[in-house]
Structure 1
């Protein structure tokens, strides 16, 4: 695996958005689109230093989808049917958090200035909400961190990021289970990453160090013999069997993002090793020794089951693959 391959993302996309599901590499058009995936698509495109004409068109389409999903009061629809009609009411679920993550990343990083401007306008329309879900807030906090990195005096981004420590909570005093929840669920590393970002950008060393402590513990419990062994879809608590399945690429991508941020802030090579462990998971250094991407299509496999990969190549898994491989740049810079 070299750098990110966008071929399958292009295959899953059309002039409306990004198809959620695939059968093998073929889009399941009958299942329609979801904002969750389109927002993640905007994140990875905005991280690219330069966009080809084809990828620039994708970024335009993804931003237009997010803007279409947004209501005047800053909530979002999530699911758009194949007939281009919304299949849900607007709300503040995880898709709201991921939308702000995508918008914040585009506003701060996208190489196309008109996308930066439009994305920031959409971000500002939604940033006043405070949903109760900790992961929803953590996704949004990552978008706020991007905005604040580009504009350190941006008020609504600072307010949103400043509220994340109270949503995540403090590490527990139990060294065996410092995690602030009673169970590990999904995309777990987004919680410590949000704390690390908040502590760094808002100059709160205690919050930053709480995030680093939680991430260190999470990387330890999600590893076995120096390879990544993510918690399964049903979650995990102490004493439950491991390895466990199905393992989801989103868990690996969240860990890669968090370790990359921790490395940028601390320059501790242990975090660089964590990034490498995540990339290696996709390349077969996992509990079954299975390659987790299709080398011909560029698609990511939908999960690691007890008998091997789920070879469907949907949007979430493909974006997790792209997001993780984008961190190869971090590895190359550190060794260059």
Structure 2
């Protein structure tokens, strides 16, 4: 069996690096002890382009912020002949928002993954939650070190219990060490030693112990509190030694210089073992209740230390049933009572040490290594039996939900932008968004007869009515104070208004609004000849398409649809050349709309030229955006130009995904080719994580849609355009997702 382990590794200085090294060594030792044929290689994470002198077991490194390094590592794993990937997950190790860059690696490898989760948050941010869920999707087994984490993973993250394995944090085999070999430092001679060790930072709460010491040394003058460890590198980077200097100042201020010792150093495992065995009481005064794993606590228990701790989650579990003493966060008076009680009762202190030592025997690294090997064997078996070599991307598509749409809608209409989910009134209202919202609500009302859609239809239609000028053109913007900012809007906005009017003609929920729709539509048609741009024409084609669906014998309207479609065909011929089959010299935004309009025109007219151009342009766009069995949109950071092969994949926008869903819906409606349904589903899945970042745009908590895919994360604003793009895509895809009866 060959294992590739991904994580931090010494000589990088951090707890995960030490853990990974010890875990790898324990796995190799357990395999040797049980005559198993097992090989381990390591892929080590470098932080901020730092370089380390790694041992030979490290075969490859990844610079945490370099996306290409993750792809290179995935290719390395695929070519390595490895049977399994052991992955160490902790926030802050991997690049991108909440470490999302690692998802690109995990998605690409075709072997089972066992992931060790060092942190499981009860109240994660959007990115923290979604990244962890995706890692779990790609993992055959998930190892946690705390029973509480099992409930969190299942209830907060929806991870099935069958995937979760509890394996304790390993520690040195203290049972093999002799107290006779303990080298007690000279400064500890004849002292009762309290010890805290680990990388130092404000969350350690060390000042709580220092504040308690005056009341302890008054009764027990031989007490010495030892603070062992360097300041955490990330703390040093942003705050220097500010916290350590504060602790030193507090020590001096309280007159404790003879009772506090700072050992500002990294220590080897052998040295740490010696310090633990030489101390009397180990203290973890941490400030964060939500700490799910503490390696230092496990080490102390493995060494048989009497442990006193604040009640963070891991401590509550390990110190239950009398295996340690707890005191509340920052409560130095309670800590004083606990420590004085133990120091006043040496027999109780020794009993506590023995109880801790007996429990800690289960943490010995050789036992932990064997548990991991057993987990590997189960993961490989399950992978081969159930999944084979394929990692399916499964999505539970949600039903449509109006919560965020109603949140952004007031008595006037739909607010254009949002900061997070908070409507940004300063941005006012735009015709585009309200027209698209009107179309979506008409479809939804037709399917559900839900009166909430009726109320929204009225609001959006009323705003559209207000924004039409007397001559039939449209203004595009309305301020929050209901002032207009221009006389005539863009071709795009005009076209979307026409599309919405056509949908109103087709599906108006009452005759009164239907009659007004007819009037507005007829006034708008007088401006068709003025349209200059392809998207304005395509949007109008859809408006006429819906009109004709209501009145199929209207030859005048069919002629208008044909004239606009002919212009699109003409634009195609004017701009196309070898290697560039498109309507314009650039591919920008809302691209799927253009061939979709010609499929709609073909459905009405059955003119083969429309179908031919629609097929050519769809295929051209498809080769760019659907090359890897997922949707990769042209981002608006850099457009795709006919004379320049490269384009940006960031920032990808929901409106473009919606246009692709629309494209395949119309392609199927026009041709009835089943392949278009499957491609529609792939495009719709973009909203749920089948995309370049492997993260959803749809927010299941707010029922909004994030504004785009950036290079290192999701744009967390949830404005109107993105929301309507998702809702409309949901409505288009819905009928294709239902199981046949």
Give, in whole Å, the separation in 2 of the partners of 1:209 and 1:334. Answer: 32
Q: Are 1:168 and 2:568 counterparts?
A: yes
SS across alignment from 1:32: strand
Partner of 1:120: 518
Conserved 8 A contact 1:223-1:229: yes
Partner of 1:308: 713
Partner of 1:146: 546
Instruction: Indicate the larger mover: 224-233 or 160-169.
Output: 160-169
Residue 92 of structure 1 deviates from its aligned partner by 4.8
**CA RMSD for the aligned pairs?**
1.9
Change (3 A) 1:235 1:112: farther
Give, in whole Å, the separation in 2 of the partners of 1:264 and 1:280. Answer: 20
1:183-221 CA-partner distances (Å, limit 9, x unpaired): 101111111111111122022122123212211221221
Conserved 8 A contact 2:476-2:490: no
Flag the structure with larger Rg: 2
Residue 84 of structure 1 deviates from its aligned partner by 0.8
Partner of 2:663: 258
Residue 6 of structure 1 deviates from its aligned partner by 1.8
Give, in whole Å, the separation in 2 of the partners of 1:78 and 1:284. Answer: 33
Partner of 1:44: 440
Conserved 8 A contact 1:23-1:313: yes
Give, in whole Å, the separation in 1 of the partners of 2:738 and 2:509. Answer: 21
SS across alignment from 1:30: strand
Partner of 2:698: 293
Give, in whole Å, the separation in 1 of the partners of 2:451 and 2:520. Answer: 24
- Partner of residue 179 from structure 1, selected from 579, 582, 585: 582
Give, in whole Å, the separation in 2 of the partners of 1:235 and 1:167. Answer: 23
Which one scores higher on RCO, CA 8 angstroms, separation ≥ 6?
A: 1
SS across alignment from 2:696: coil
Give, in whole Å, the separation in 2 of the partners of 1:166 and 1:132. Answer: 13
Residue 334 of structure 1 deviates from its aligned partner by 7.2
Residue 335 of structure 1 deviates from its aligned partner by 4.0
Which runs of 5 or more residues in structure 2 are unaligned?
1-396
Partner of 2:336: none
1:66-215, aligned counterparts within 5 Å? 66-130=464-528, 131-170=531-570, 171=572, 174=577, 176-215=579-618
1:302-324 CA-partner distances (Å, limit 9, x unpaired): 11110111010000000000011
Give, in whole Å, the separation in 2 of the partners of 1:97 and 1:328. Answer: 23
Give, in whole Å, the separation in 2 of the partners of 1:313 and 1:292. Answer: 9
Give, in whole Å, the separation in 2 of the partners of 1:157 and 1:62. Answer: 25
Conserved 8 A contact 1:41-1:62: yes
Change (3 A) 1:327 1:128: same
Give, in whole Å, the separation in 2 of the partners of 1:176 and 1:330. Answer: 35
Change (3 A) 1:288 1:38: same
Instruction: Indicate the larger mover: 27-36 or 210-219.
Output: 210-219
1:271-286, aligned counterparts within 5 Å? 271-286=676-691
Q: Are 1:19 and 2:422 counterparts?
A: no
Give, in whole Å, the separation in 1 of the partners of 2:646 and 2:489. Answer: 36
Conserved 8 A contact 1:232-1:244: yes
Give, in whole Å, the separation in 2 of the partners of 1:114 and 1:50. Answer: 21
How does the TM-score come out when normalised to structure 1? Answer: 0.94
Residue 13 of structure 1 deviates from its aligned partner by 0.4
Conserved 8 A contact 2:498-2:524: yes
Give, in whole Å, the separation in 1 of the partners of 2:607 and 2:449. Answer: 35
Residue 88 of structure 1 deviates from its aligned partner by 1.3
- Partner of residue 639 from structure 2, selected from 228, 232, 235: 235
Conserved 8 A contact 1:101-1:141: yes
1:115-136 CA-partner distances (Å, limit 9, x unpaired): 3332222111101212111111
Conserved 8 A contact 2:538-2:565: no
Residue 99 of structure 1 deviates from its aligned partner by 0.3
Residue 333 of structure 1 deviates from its aligned partner by 5.0
Partner of 2:90: none
Partner of 1:62: 460
Give, in whole Å, the separation in 2 of the partners of 1:139 and 1:220. Answer: 24
Partner of 2:729: 324
Which runs of 5 or more residues in structure 1 are unaligned?
none
Conserved 8 A contact 1:38-1:66: yes
Change (3 A) 1:286 1:120: same
Conserved 8 A contact 1:284-1:291: yes
Instruction: Indicate the larger mover: 315-324 or 229-238.
Output: 229-238
Conserved 8 A contact 1:19-1:32: yes
Conserved 8 A contact 2:491-2:532: no
1:74-123 CA-partner distances (Å, limit 9, x unpaired): 10011100111111112453111100011111211244443333222211
SS across alignment from 2:650: coil
Residue 225 of structure 1 deviates from its aligned partner by 1.2
SS across alignment from 1:128: helix
Task: Say how many residue pairs are matched.
Answer: 336
Change (3 A) 1:98 1:113: same
Change (3 A) 1:94 1:20: same
Instruction: Indicate the larger mover: 100-109 or 213-222.
Output: 213-222
